[in-house]
Each structure stands twice: as C-alpha cells, then as structure tokens.
Amino acid sequence: MASKDWQTIAQGMQDHRARTIAAVEPAVPDVPDDLPLNVTQIPKKLLPEETIAITELTAEQLLPQLASGRLTATQVTKAFLQRAGLASKLVNCCTELLPERALERAKYLDDYFSEHKTPVGPLHGLLISVKEHIGMKGLDLNAGFVSWVGRIAPDDAVILKFLWKAGCVFYVRTTQPQTLMHLETSNNIYGVTVNPYNTKLTSGGSSGGEGALLGLRGSCLGIGSDIGGSIRSPAANNGLFGLRPTSFRLPFAGWMATMMGEEQVIPVIGPLSTSLEGIQIFMKTVLDQEPSKIDPSLVPMPWKTESQLRHKDGKRKLRVGVLSDDGIVKPHPPILRGINTLVEKLKTHPDIEVVDFPPYKPDEAWRIIASLYFGDGASEEKEAIAASGEPWRPMSDFIIKKNPFVKELTVPEVWDLTIEREAYKAAFARHWNSVGTGLPGPDEKDSSTFAGPLSEESEEKLVDVVLCPVGPSCAPLLETARYWGYTAQWNLVDYPCLVFPTGLQCSEVDKVDSDYHPRNEKDKYNHELYEPKSYTDAPISLQLVGRRYHDEKVIEAYEMIAEAAGLPFS
C-alpha cells in the first residue's frame, strides 16, 4: 500500500469497477459521447424493454410479483445489474457491481421458491443497493479515503443481516465523498458523482451514489447514512423519498468512518426509495425482527402501523407548521415556489390547518453541531488523507479547514458542548410547543426553567409536523453545497425527517430576485449562485419533520398531505 502512489491505487479500484460492470449479462451498453445534461431518459433508449419494464417498478410493485412467481429473482437481478451498470457509466455512482454474488443469491431464492412454493421472507428477491461504507463481508471498506483502500469488512453490517434474512439481494455498492462529510459526492478514488437530471449539478452527499443510482432507476430501494443531511440531500437532489430516522431505531454496527466512538452527534442509517411505500417496507421489515434484542443500544420500538394522527372521532385537523426560510440563508426561488404551491393547496383543505413555524436560532444550532462534528480537531480525517498523499477535495477543505468551529477539544470542552446541545434540544422542544398554542417559548420571561406536562388542550393545538426546505437550493452546482442549516439542525435535536418530491422542477419561471439584499456572507454566496438556466430540470423537493421517535407520524402526515394536495404536482 505505502509503496504505491494514490493515483495508482485509485486506478486499480476504477479498473476493478470496470471489470464488475463488464461481467454483467446481458452486457451493459456503452454510452454516446454527446450526452444531454439531463440523462434520465437515456436508459430507455439503450436498454431492452424487459429491463426497463422491471426496473421502472417500485418496491411495492415488485414484491408481489416476486412472491407469486410472476417474476423470478434471477430476472429482476439481471435487469437491475444491467441498469445499475449503465447508471454508473452515465453519472459515476457505483464503486462496484456484484453480479456473481447477486446471481448466486437469486438462484438460491428461485430454487427455494420452486421447491417450497413460498417466498423466503417479506423482501424475497428485492434488489437493495448499499452505500460503500456500510460493510459487506470480504469487500473493500474505504469510506472514500485512498489510504483505506484494502481494508476488508470482516462481516456484513448488522442491518444487512436483517435485510438478508428477509430475502433481499445485494447487487451494487455506491459512491460517497472523501471524509463522508460533504453535501455532494466526490473523492479521489472514483471522482465526482453527478446529478442525472442535470450533470452540471451535484447528486448530493454523502449518500450521493445512492441518490444518483435511484434517480436513474438503477435501484428502487437503497441504504444511506446521515449525520448532517447525507440521506436527505441526495434524496432531494434526485427527486426521491428519503428518511432520516430517529437515532437508535435501526442498527448501525458494521460500517466504517472516522471518529467511530464519538457520541455527540449520532449518525443514523436510513432508506432512500423511489416510492414512499419503499421507505415503509424497509423500516417495517427491519424493526419487525426486533433488532434491539441483539443490539442493546437500540430502542425496542416496533414499526407502528396504527394511525398516529387520526382521533377516533376524526375531528382533529392535521396541523402543519411551515418554515420556509430560516432567516440565515434565503432559499432560491424554485424552493419557495415548491413550498408556496403546496401550502396554497393545503390551506383550502378542511382537515388540515397550516400555521407559521418561526425558526429558532439556527445559527446557534450550527455553532453547536459544527463544534461537535470534529471534536479531535479532525485529526483522523487529516491523517487518513495524508497517509496516501491524496489531495484534499474542495468540500473536505471547506467543512474542515475553513470551518471556524473545528478545533481539538478537551474533555471539559466536550462536556460543556454536550450540555449546550441538551439545552438547545430542550429549548427547541419548548419552541415547538409554543407555536400556535399560547404556551411560552424558551426565551419568554414566564417560561419556567423546567416545564411541566402539557394540558390536554395544549396537546390538541400542537404542530404535528414541520414543512421546510431540504436546502437553500435545488441540487447545487458542483462544489457549492456549503450551507447545511436546513438539515443539520434536525440532526442536533434528533428529529425524524422525510424528504419527498413535489414533481416540480426548476425552470425559467423561477426568476432571480434582482432587488434582494443579502443578510450576511452565507446568504450572499447562496444568492449569487442562482441563475435559472444553471439549475434547469433540477427536482424541487421538500422536507417534513416530526418530533423525536415520531417517525411513523411523519410518514402518515405525508400521506395525508399528499392526498390533500395531489402530490406529486406533475
């Protein structure tokens, strides 16, 4: 390892990927040189009709066909391998395909079905894509660092074992950024993963390989991870559904990253999907197996299928708080159009009440979480990059070297910041409780130090979910995704978030506000990036946020909102 330069190591990994794509049968077609910026329709021009028909299906459409034998696991595996290989050629989203493993697994599933006339489990034959740093036994586990190439996972990550037991097929691994701390996906092993709707834009990060692959329907259900927006950013940028679950619901043992022992900002594993039902299938399948019985760090909380919102008398309205602008960085016109379009539809619905949800000190939230991200002064990231001599990627440089909050903390400083984290969480909970209820907010004079239980009347008036942007723009231009405020704040308070597509896209109707005067340097930077032609075809996605451990409530609220507003809009 040490005797090789970083370029040689990276080329070896790229050559390995090329060999895995070349091993796919039917063969993955080559792509033309003169591609349009929007490559989402290219697969339909290059792949067989049968492959397109299978890969356009969602998880909930595929599963009954697999469970009944109308489709075999082998058919579905071959189709998704071919489309995933093409997706990688188009947007650079895969680290490797696994045709031999996947087809061996598919054969086992087909043989089992042929003999027993029943599926292996609820995910029988379903293809699931996996972000590279989530370990797969015997395979490389580099987490985006050249110097970590050659680290081999000794076992499958725990969550993969639960999905495997349910009958799925793992067939492809996807790209992530250097340090795993970008809202885009670029590393020195594979290069830059771009957005299928506009290849001048980022696919998001850090689960951007998953986002781009699903955006091109090379997968219908994938696994990502999130510590500051890493599921939500790729889901939003590629027009997908993505869930950042509450921490300690899903098992995360068996992945690779720096600072594995830190407990100040808890990362989570979660699904990205081409459908809402795919998200629910993923969560229910894992939680039905009670992973807390083998991982004592997990909360023993099943996936609740009963309604979390509807009262027996059916009279209570769904209360949706709207936070369209955090007061620090104003979202670009397409994002505001998406929110306004949805809100105007919801306002006319008799079973939904829309209320303004003011931001609560997002700059303070960022100071705390940005200070906690790299408690060792980012020494592990710096060492991992230096070990191979690879260059710093621009977004690694931004989040570490240009981050004024990155410093090596003493133990007392970590304790103090942890106290601040908990104080912010308590203050934010009280802020949420105050919206529309008449209860005092955290900064009001009559707000006691320790709040008591809420009255039944106050409970009835509480906001159920908050609708807000995922970021201040649609999929950002490459190397410009610098503002994490709309996602990282929810990591700090540990609230579940569902990203969903509106069906709208950025277009010429989203004019630049030439009279706008930026509030600060961050706002100025974001404002000056916007020009409609640069973002053409970028999906407009939004985010629903719920209280901690109210993951199912967020899903149900989305279903009610989608039905009321007719989502997606186009």
Instruction: Point out the annotated binding site for substrate.
Output: 180, 206, 227-230
Residue of 78, 89, 131, 382 with catalytic role: 131
Residue of 88, 206, 434, 473 with catalytic role: 206
396 catalytic residue (yes or no): no
Contact 102, 75 (CB under 8 A): no
DSSP states along 214-256:
HHTTS-SEEEEEESSSTTHHHHHHTT-EEEEPPTTSS--TTB-
> What 3-state DSSP class applies to 16?
helix
Residue of 230, 273, 371, 473 with catalytic role: 230
Cα distances from 491 to residues 31, 273, 425, 487, in angstroms, run: 39, 21, 10, 7
Amino acid letter, residue 143: A
Contact 265, 567 (CB under 8 A): no
Unique residue bearing structure tokens 């900002």: 265
Query: 527-564: buried (b, 16+ CB within 10 Å) or exposed (e) per residue?
Result: bebbebebbbbbbbbbbbbbbebbbbbbbbbbebbeeb
DSSP H/E element including 354: strand 352-356
230 catalytic residue (yes or no): yes
CA pair distance 132, 157, nearest whole angstrom: 11
Length of the chain: 570
533 catalytic residue (yes or no): no
Which one, of 109, 80, 321, lies nearest residue 220 by Cα? 80
Which one, of 487, 466, 491, 472, lies nearest residue 545 by Cα? 466
Angle at 212 between CA 206 and CA 214, to 5 degrees: 110
Which residues belong to the active site?
A: 131, 206, 230
